[in-house]
Amino acid sequence: MAVDSGRARDGFHRPAHLRPEDRPGGLRREERTNALRREERTGAVQRREHRAGLRWEERPGGARQERSGGLRRPERQSNALQSTPPAAAPPPAVAKEPVQRTEPVQRTEPVQRTETVERQVVRRRPSPMGATTGRRAGHPERLPSAAARTAAAPVSPAPGPPVPPALVSAQLEAAVEDAVGGAATFVPATKPQEEHLEPARTPRHRARWAWEGRYLRTLLLIDSVIGVLAGLVAFEVRFGSVLTNYNTRYALLSALLPVAFTATLAANRAYEKRYLFVGTDEYQRVLRAGLGLTAATIVGAYAAEIQIARGWFAVALPLVTSGCLVSRFVLRQLLHRARKTRGACMRRVVVVGHGLAVEAMTTQLCRERYHGLKVVGACLAEEGSVPGVPVLGTFDEIAGAVRRARADTVLVLSCPELDGHALRRLAWRLERDDIDLIVASTLIDVAGSRTTIRPVDGLPMLHVEHPTLTGARRVLKAVVDRVGAVVLLVVLSPLLAGLALAVRAESKGPVLFRQVRVGKDGREFVIVKFRTMHTDAEARLAELRHLNEVDGALFKLRNDPRVTRVGRFLRKFSLDELPQLLNVLGGSMSLVGPRPPLPEEVAVYPDDARRRLAVRPGMTGLWQVSGRSDLSWDEAVRLDLQYVENWSLSLDLVIMLRTLSAVTRGAGAY
């Protein structure tokens, strides 16, 4: 096979397999060139032979071949170096297999090529067998010669007589010899393996982050404004509008009040997103911040022997605490209304679990949209379907399902397939895309205040405390109930008198309606309400019982013919329950608690529902503020049990605030 052996001096390319005899004047020119080369390169050849342990052998035809550790000179291509030594008996020729190269050398001069691959020069030590063994230490890498840069890609030589070397100058050949160093080889540079880069944590859920950031900034601004207003009101109440030398320091304290209070809120983690939007933890932390700032002020003033005006102190701190509580409640109600009506400020959730559990969770989240969790897909243990929810795959396809659904939260329900190791691997995969992971506990209606995670030998153990049904906190609740009942009776006395006159004016009979109900520990008591029905309502109950619109033991009828016109108005806004303040004052009821049941209802209670009787019934409760009569029997029982299990003073405060909005709407009351 013909190969290109380089450009000749006259500018023409000639095949490499042509003998010198076939070229015009090629034999004489070759002999002269070889003689000149031998004379000028004697020193270089000797150095090379000493360095590489090579030997020159005479070959038939007057040619001798150079052994250089298995490497041919770059400018010789695939032919052995031949020369014409003095007449002597030629020893047997030792042939050396040429090194086959299939990639061109990197060029330092612009040469027209179709492909270029970067090569790296590595110096090797010559082995006794003539093979390269590695890089020679201390020898820098050198570029190939000009002849090597202009040579074509070498191939295996064609069979036949030896081919004479290319015609190059002796100086250029000596330079090549010095560059090669007798033991150099060209090794193609290995392409660095592409590293597997994990996806960067980019803000994929900017819409969610945007509304959460706005909510947090608004909350911080409102707290600061309330702090400023509380300081101004306290200064005005105690000192008036005149600034004197005495009250100058109180003006400074009024100016520092918003800064101190917001800092105390931050220290109590009242701005962390895990405590915002839903739940009572946010209000508890505001109360702790107010009490903490009050205690710190008292202790600091006593330690520094600083006199603080009691009037300013008694107005400023309670006002800023109550103002922050009310403002946070109003802001949360606006958020809940936006979620219920417009579906805004929602998180896109993929629910993971078994079919029935996913269906139940989806139904609950759709009913209670104020939690802000919108189900956009589900992943099941095996192939299946869930009514109203697109199934995006199995447990092995959760990460891909989240990306396809553009979700930002994964809700994992309890299932044996997802054990601790599987959940940990899932959390790692979701962490790279900044996806929130929520694991639903098998505990029913147990708030976080009763649960504590404690590590035991590296395993997280969930400790559940018993609910507070007795003790000092219950005594404090009873005191708050009685004081609140007295205050409300005094304040609402004109309204109570007017409602009594309206009831008496419409229909004959008593103004108040008395009925036996079941209280704490199953003890019966007489409840007091404004009469909203005709006097023969109990006698007509039997003929209307088949029209009951509520399942369970409770009887409710939306258009009950026994209810008077004034009674419908009183029921819509829950004004008929105001006389129950007398029951609260007497200790048989509480301001907040489960609904007081009838004796016939308690007679058919299941075992779980009897847990409602562990505390005093209340004028309002979770079921009243969550839908009242629109709720099913099972849902009303679940809400009452949730209150019993997780009672706290802050929860009572939240329920009373929610009662105001529920009464104003009038939804679910009939």
Residue 621 predicted with pLDDT over 70: yes
Long-range (24+ apart) CB contacts under 8 A made by 26-30 are 29/167, 30/164, 30/167
Task: Report the range out of 7-21, 65-79, 243-257, 483-497 with the highest average pLDDT.
Answer: 483-497
Q: Is pLDDT of 269 > 90?
A: yes
Q: How many residues does the chain have?
A: 670
Q: Identify the pLDDT of residue 193.
A: 38
Share of the chain above pLDDT 70, in %: 66
Residue 453 or 391, more confident: 391
- Tens of pLDDT, residues 154-190: 444 444 444 444 444 555 555 545 544 443 333 343 3
CA angle 563, 564, 565 (to 5 degrees): 125
Q: Running DSSP on this structure, what letter comes out for residue 85? A: P
- Give burial (CB, 10 Å; 0-12/13-18/19+) of 602: middle
Q: What is the pLDDT of residue 667?
A: 61
Higher pLDDT pick, 451 / 244: 244
pLDDT at 147: 43
What number is the average pLDDT over the span 384-396?
91
pLDDT at 315 over 80: yes
Q: What is the pLDDT of residues 504-516, one digit of tens each?
A: 888 888 999 999 9
Tell me what percent of the residues of the chain surpass a pLDDT of 90.
Answer: 32
Provide the pairing of β-strand 57-59 with 63-65.
antiparallel
Task: Tell whether the model's pLDDT for residue 15 goes beyond 70.
Answer: no
**pLDDT single digits (tens) 560-590:** 888 899 988 998 888 999 999 999 999 999 9
Residue 50 has pLDDT above 70, yes or no: no
Which has more pLDDT, 27 or 401?
Answer: 401
Which residues have C-beta within 8 Å of that of residue 140, sequence separation ≥ 6? none
pLDDT at 609 over 50: yes
| Greater pLDDT, 39 or 359 | 359
Largest CA distance in the chain: 151
CB 411 within 8 A of CB 423: no
Residue 373 vs residue 471, higher pLDDT? 373
Q: Is pLDDT at 598 greater than 60 in this prediction? A: yes
Q: What does the DSSP 8-state code read for residue 467?
A: P
**Chain centroid, CA 170 distance in Å:** 72
- The pLDDT value given to residue 670: 54
Pairwise CA distance, residues 317 & 258, whole Å: 10
Q: Is the pLDDT of residue 28 over 70?
A: no
The whole-number average pLDDT for the span 56-72 is 42
- Reduce the DSSP state of residue 22 to 3 states and report it: helix
Average pLDDT over residues 205-222: 86
Residue 26 pLDDT level (bands cut at 50, 70, 90)? very low
pLDDT band at 132 (very low <50, low <70, confident <90, very high): very low
Highest mean pLDDT among 63-77, 467-481, 489-503, 642-656: 489-503
Mean pLDDT of the chain: 75
Per the listing, tokens 């298995």 go with 70
- Span 471-496, pLDDT tens digits: 888 889 999 999 999 999 999 999 99
Q: What pLDDT is attached to residue 321?
A: 94
Helix and strand tally (H, E) in the chain?
20, 17
Which residue would you say has higher pLDDT here, 653 or 3?
A: 653
- In this prediction, residue 411 has a pLDDT band, given cuts at 50, 70 and 90, of very high
Per-residue pLDDT, 172: 52
**Residues forming a β-bridge with 573:** none
Whole-number pLDDT of residue 51: 56
Mean pLDDT of the region 326-335:
92
What is the CB-side half-sphere exposure of residue 218 using CA atoms within 13 A? 14
What are the tens digits of pLDDT across the range 79-103? 443 444 444 444 444 444 444 444 4
pLDDT band at 278 (very low <50, low <70, confident <90, very high): confident
How far apart (Å, rounded) are the C-alpha atoms in residues 176 and 146?
8
Instruction: With CA atoms as reference, report the closest residue to 564 among 526, 628, 509, 492.
Output: 509
Residues in a beta bridge with 377: 350
DSSP SS3 for 73: coil
The pLDDT, as a whole number, for residue 623 is 83
Q: Would you say the C-alpha torsion 603, 605, 609, 611 has a positive or negative sign? A: positive
Tell me the CB-side half-sphere exposure of residue 339, using CA atoms within 13 A: 24
DSSP letter for each residue of 134-202 = SPPTT----PPPHHHHHSPPP-PPPSSSPPPPP---HHHHHHHHHHHTTSEEEEEPPPPPPP-PPPP--
Inform me whether the pLDDT recorded for 542 exceeds 50: yes
pLDDT category at 613 given cuts 50, 70, 90 is very high
Q: What is the pLDDT of residue 31?
A: 62
- The pLDDT of residue 637 is above 60: yes
